[in-house]
C-alpha cells in the first residue's frame, strides 16, 4: 500500500510494538500477558510493517527464516523442561534463581521464563507464516 502516513507510522510503531510485546512477555508470569500474547503482538507489529512496505520487506525485517524461528521456539520451550529431568523431577518443574542486576535490583529468573520465551518465538513465527502466506495470494 502506498501511503505516506501508513509508512511513517509503521516505521515508528514497529519498535514500539516490539518493546511492548517484550514487556507483555516479561510480566506474564504473575500478571496478564505471557509468551503467547507477546508473540501475537510482535507478529502483528510485523504484519503492520508488511501492509505498509510489502511482504518481502517484512521478511527482511524479521531477519530470520520464519520456520526456523518457530522451530527454535519449540526447542527453547522443550529445553526449559530439561533441568527438571536432570534433577529427576517431573518434566517442566520450575526452577528459579535470584540474580542481582546492578541498577535494577534483585531479579528472579527461572525456567518458566525460558518456556515463555519459547512460546513467544513459536507464536511469533507461526502467526507470521500464516498471515504472510495469505498476503502472498
Partner 1 sequence: MNLLLVLPILIPLTAAALGLTAWKRPGLQRSISVAGAMALLVASVMLLAATNRGDVLATQMGGWEAPYGITIVADILSSIMVLLNAIIGLAVVIYSLGALDPQREAFGFHPLVHALLAAVSGAFLTGDLFNLYVWFEVMLMSSFVLLTMGSGRAQLEGAIKYVALNLVSSALFLAAVGLLYGATGTLNMAHLAERIGSADPRATTLIAMLFMVAFGIKAAAFPFFFWLPASYHTPPPVVSALFAGLLTKVGVYALIRTFTLCFTGDMAFTHEVILWIAGFTMLSGVLGAAVQSEFRRILSFHIVSQIGYMLMGLGMAGVALAAAESADESTAVALRGAAALALTGSIFYVMHHIIVKTNLFLVSGIVQRLFGTGDLDRVGGIWRTRPVLSIMFLVPAMSLAGIPILSGFWAKLTLVRAGLLAESWWIVAVALFVSLLTLFSMTKIWGEAFWNAMPPGREDPTATVRSDRGLRIMMTVVMLLGAVTLAIGFAAQPVFDLAGRAAKQLLSPGVYADAVLGGRQSSIPPVDADGGAP
Q: Which residues bind to partner 1, rule: CB under 8 A?
A: 65, 67-68, 70-75, 78, 81, 84-85, 88-94
Residue with smaller CB distance to partner 1, 27 or 65 = 65
Residue with smaller CB distance to partner 1, 89 or 98 = 89
Minimum gap (Å) between residue 90 Cβ and partner 1: 5
Residues 128, 67: Cα–Cα separation, whole Å: 10
Do residues 124 and 42 lie in contact, with contact meaning Cβ atoms separated by under 8 Å?
A: yes
Cell of 62: 524479521
Residues 100, 108: Cα–Cα separation, whole Å: 9
Residues 21, 99: Cα–Cα separation, whole Å: 23
Residue with smaller CB distance to partner 1, 90 or 102 = 90
Minimum gap (Å) between residue 41 Cβ and partner 1: 22
Minimum gap (Å) between residue 25 Cβ and partner 1: 19
Amino acid at each position: 500500500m502506498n501511503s505516506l502516513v501508513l509508512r511513517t507510522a509503521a516505521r515508528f510503531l514497529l519498535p514500539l510494538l516490539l518493546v511492548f510485546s517484550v514487556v507483555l512477555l516479561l510480566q506474564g508470569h504473575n500478571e496478564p500477558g505471557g509468551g503467547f500474547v507477546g508473540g501475537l503482538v510482535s507478529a502483528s507489529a510485523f504484519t503492520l510493517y508488511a501492509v505498509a512496505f510489502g511482504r518481502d520487506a517484512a521478511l527482511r525485517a524479521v531477519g530470520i527464516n520464519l520456520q526456523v524461528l518457530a522451530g527454535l521456539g519449540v526447542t527453547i520451550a522443550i529445553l526449559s523442561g530439561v533441568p527438571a529431568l536432570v534433577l529427576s523431577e517431573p518434566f517442566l518443574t520450575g526452577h528459579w534463581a535470584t540474580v542481582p542486576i546492578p541498577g535494577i535490583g534483585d531479579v528472579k529468573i527461572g525456567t518458566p521464563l525460558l518456556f515463555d520465551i519459547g512460546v513467544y518465538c513459536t507464536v511469533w513465527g507461526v502467526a507470521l507464516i500464516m498471515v504472510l502466506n495469505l498476503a502472498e495470494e
